[in-house]
Amino acid sequence: MRIFIAFEGSCEPFDISQDQTVRTIKWMIKDFFHMQLSDDKRTHRFIDLTYAGATLQDSWVLPDVGIAPSSTIHCVLKEEDKPILHVFSAVTKETLSVMGTVFLLSTSVSKLKSLVSLQNGLPVSTFRLTTQTGLELYNCNCLDEYGIEVGTTLHLDTWDGWTEFLRGCFLGHRHTVQHYLSEEEPVMRFQQRVALYVAAFFGHLDLADWLLRRGVRAEEAVGVHPYREWCKETDHPEVSKCPVHAAAEAGQLHILKFFINNSVLNLNCRDHRGRSPLQITIQHRHRDCVQYLITKLWSMVSFPGLSFPMGTYIQIKRWVHKAQRQASPVSMVHKEPYKTRVGDTVLVDGFTLPEMTSKPRSRVTRAGAAVQCSNLPVRGQPGQLPQLHPAAVDDGRLRRSGRQEGRSKREEILSAENRDQNRNTWRSKVPLPPISQDTNPRPRFIYASPNSSLILTSSLESFSKHCGRSTRENAIYCLALASAFTEKPWLQQLGMARTLAQRTVQKLV
């Protein structure tokens, strides 16, 4: 089989066999054109073969994807920079790639957390970074002090019992967020601010509307966890960021309109660097957001018999809010330097056990129940009487334990669904009708044997066992691969998918 390879203005013939893979052809091209390939820690130089608008994968065989003899395949030598660091998120079970130069390893941990927050949409006060050995990275230290090298994978952990809550925020599921809110009021208020920040970053209007109706403000800083609100000297500078700043960084135009229509104070809300939402959108080059914010800032506010610029109106609104706060009875009370009270949990870096290990809520609840049981007096101990509880209290505990078991089951179902969605991302590329639920009996074929259904069922089960995908999933996978050849008609793409499916069965045999 002879094919032609087009590379840098030249077109050279190559004689290959019918069963050679694309990876073998790439090595032939490399030796023929004397290409210098590299795959070190910093750069990756490789050969890319394209045909009919699709990139050929290394494991493909040319006849399987419909490439006939005398076809011309385009060859390109590409070079891309490798990520400096990798961050594995315990919330989404995904690995983030942190791009940059080698000088990033000499910066502070707070700078790295800012880059990670800009990628995953989480506030910096909701997660911590650890090495593979479990060593926590503190904001005030530099990365090179921990011996971190290029290509190292770090772990991102969040507060214990927050995993399901943050997943609901990522998906914009209001009921899931409401279900997993903490029972402690200070922690619940902090979670609501975090949820609004995440909703603003990903553009979840329904979740943002529900949080605003509950009293959360978009121009209010997310802050830190109540367990750490007194550690102001070691706080990250970006704890003062607001949800409106997250919307401006992500370029969420609809969320910005929603926040500004709710309160015009969002137009002039400043972050820790003194930047307004307009300056943030200009820096990140979100043209639509810049045009909208400029139009709002340079507009006029009209009242009956009176009109003035938006900047003046924002200043008046700020004065009114300041006067209302000073005139409220709460402002007359002496303000404590810290809101922590006797009996509250206090976390000190390096001295207390970390509570940011990404434990699911079910495990945290069981651990709390075990601690409570260990504090009960031992029956039969001299000088002590066994503690008695009313029947109503026991019934309530049983009901609560039943609800906790139901929640843990729902959490396992949700996590299984999320894993299936992440594993089968190619399903969304090819729209197919749903699986038929029709149970009406069909007439039997005349020449069908009595055991034909049993043979077919056992064959399908054997295919799913050895291939790792069901027959339906394998069909979707083959159609997704064939649809990458955009320059071919749809019927030819369908024939290529059929050939790939047949090859899959032949490889198992």
Tens of pLDDT, residues 3-17? 999 998 889 999 988
Least confident of 219-223, 233-237, 478-482: 233-237
Residue 453: is its pLDDT beyond 90?
no
Between CA 282 and CA 296 the distance in angstroms is 15
Tokens representing 132? Answer: 């593979």
Q: What percent of the chain has pLDDT over 70?
A: 77
User: Cβ–Cβ contacts within 10 Å for residue 325, how many?
Assistant: 10
| Segment 273-300, tens digit of pLDDT | 999 999 999 999 999 999 999 999 888 8
What pLDDT does residue 119 have? 92
Q: Is the pTM of this model over 0.75?
A: no
What pLDDT does residue 488 have? 84
* Residues forming beta bridges with residue 48, ordered by sequence position: 76
Between CA 284 and CA 248 the distance in angstroms is 8
Q: What is 85-306's CATH topology?
A: 1.25.40
Confidence category of residue 406, pLDDT binned at 50, 70, 90: low
Same fold yes or no, 2-81 and 85-306? no
Tokens representing 417? Answer: 């669904």
Confidence category of residue 393, pLDDT binned at 50, 70, 90: very low
Between CA 262 and CA 209 the distance in angstroms is 10
Least confident of 142-151, 420-429, 499-508: 420-429
**Nearest 5 degrees, angle CA 281-CA 284-CA 286?**
60
**DSSP state at residue 328:** S
Confidence category of residue 180, pLDDT binned at 50, 70, 90: very high
Residue range 2-81 in CATH 3.10.20.90: yes
Between CA 56 and CA 69 the distance in angstroms is 16
In angstroms, what CA-CA distances link 60 with 111, 155, 168, 285, 481?
42, 35, 39, 40, 10
Between CA 213 and CA 420 the distance in angstroms is 34
What pLDDT does residue 391 have? 44
**With b meaning 16 or more CB within 10 Å and e meaning fewer, what string describes 263-291?**
bbbbbbbebeeebbbbbbbbeeebeebbe
What pLDDT does residue 181 have? 93
Helices within 221-276 (DSSP H only) = 243-250, 253-262
Q: Is 84 helix (H, G, I), strand (E, B) or coil?
A: coil
Q: DSSP strand E in 82-113: where? A: 85-89, 95-98
Least confident of 97-106, 195-204, 359-368, 395-404: 395-404
Determine contact, residues 5/29, Cβ cutoff 8 Å. Answer: yes
- The per-residue pLDDT of the chain, averaged, comes to 80
| Segment 91-107, tens digit of pLDDT | 999 999 888 877 888 88
Between CA 402 and CA 397 the distance in angstroms is 8
Residue 418: is its pLDDT beyond 70?
no
| Segment 202-211, tens digit of pLDDT | 999 999 999 9
Confidence category of residue 122, pLDDT binned at 50, 70, 90: very high
pLDDT higher at 332 or 225: 225
Residue boundaries of the structural domains of the chain: 2-81, 85-306, 454-508
What pLDDT does residue 259 have? 94
What pLDDT does residue 80 have? 82
Mean pLDDT confidence for 223-241: 82
- Distance, C-alpha 47 to centroid of its chain: 31
| Segment 129-155, tens digit of pLDDT | 999 888 999 888 898 889 888 888 999
